[in-house]
């Protein structure tokens, strides 16, 4: 998006992305960052963050970001290999200087994409939770408010009213 604003023509940007020597590098960014974000959203968040395992979650997110950044680096070498230009001609860096690409390009980009993905997901979850709370306050179905503490007993809440029943769920109106 920022590139379209900078250049001013979306067609020029798309042509540059898909037909240039950098196309494979871009595909490595898109593919591996998408995998990293989806892994975080659909595995790490439900398994660790939502269950309160914060230290493990943060450790695994950092590991995922670093792993994603490392997996993107070969895209630079593949695009140079497939193009008519040398690695130095394309990137103005020595091919052995892979840490430069890691620190300056792939790591910040991977951290940004992961942060954006988490922000969207957590905002969505927060909005859904607020909507459920509003529905409960308005007297909509209370299935979400019933908590089972044993097989024989369930506690259903509506506002400050709590009713305990045995063998069946009773809703307070």
Q: What is the pLDDT of residues 34-87, one digit of tens each?
A: 999 999 999 999 999 889 999 999 999 999 999 999 999 888 888 878 787 877
pTM: 0.66
Same-domain status, 110 and 126: yes
Give whole-number Cα distances, 49 to 11, 33, 34, 140, in Å: 41, 20, 20, 29
Residue 170, class by beta-carbon neighbours within 10 Å (0-12 exposed, 13-18 middle, 19+ buried)? Answer: middle
Domain check: are 60 and 90 in the same one? yes
Inter-residue contact 66 to 107 (CB < 8 Å):
yes
pLDDT, tens digit, for every residue of 111-124?
A: 999 999 989 988 99
> Are 132 and 61 contained in the same domain?
yes
Tally of domains within the chain: 2
- Identify whether residues 155 and 95 lie together within a single domain: no
85 and 14 in one domain?
Answer: yes
- Give me the domain span that covers residue 47: 2-138
Domain shared by 106 and 148, yes or no? no
């Amino acid at each position: 998006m920022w590139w379209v604003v900078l250049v001013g023509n979306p067609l020029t940007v798309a042509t540059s992305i898909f037909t240039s020597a950098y196309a494979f590098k871009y595909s490595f960014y898109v593919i591996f960052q998408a995998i990293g974000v989806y892994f975080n959203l659909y595995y790490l968040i439900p398994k660790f963050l939502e269950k309160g395992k914060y230290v493990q979650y943060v450790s695994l997110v950092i590991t995922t970001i670093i792993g994603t950044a490392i997996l993107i680096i070969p895209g630079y070498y593949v695009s140079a290999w497939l193009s008519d230009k040398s690695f130095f001609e394309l990137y103005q860096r020595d091919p052995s200087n892979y840490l430069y690409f890691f620190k300056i390009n792939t790591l910040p980009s991977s951290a940004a994409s992961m942060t954006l993905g988490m922000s969207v997901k957590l905002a969505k979850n927060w909005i859904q939770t607020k909507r459920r709370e509003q529905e409960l306050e308005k007297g909509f179905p209370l299935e979400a408010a019933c908590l089972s503490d044993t097989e024989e007993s369930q506690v259903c809440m509506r506002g400050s009213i709590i009713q305990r029943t045995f063998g069946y769920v009773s809703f307070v109106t």
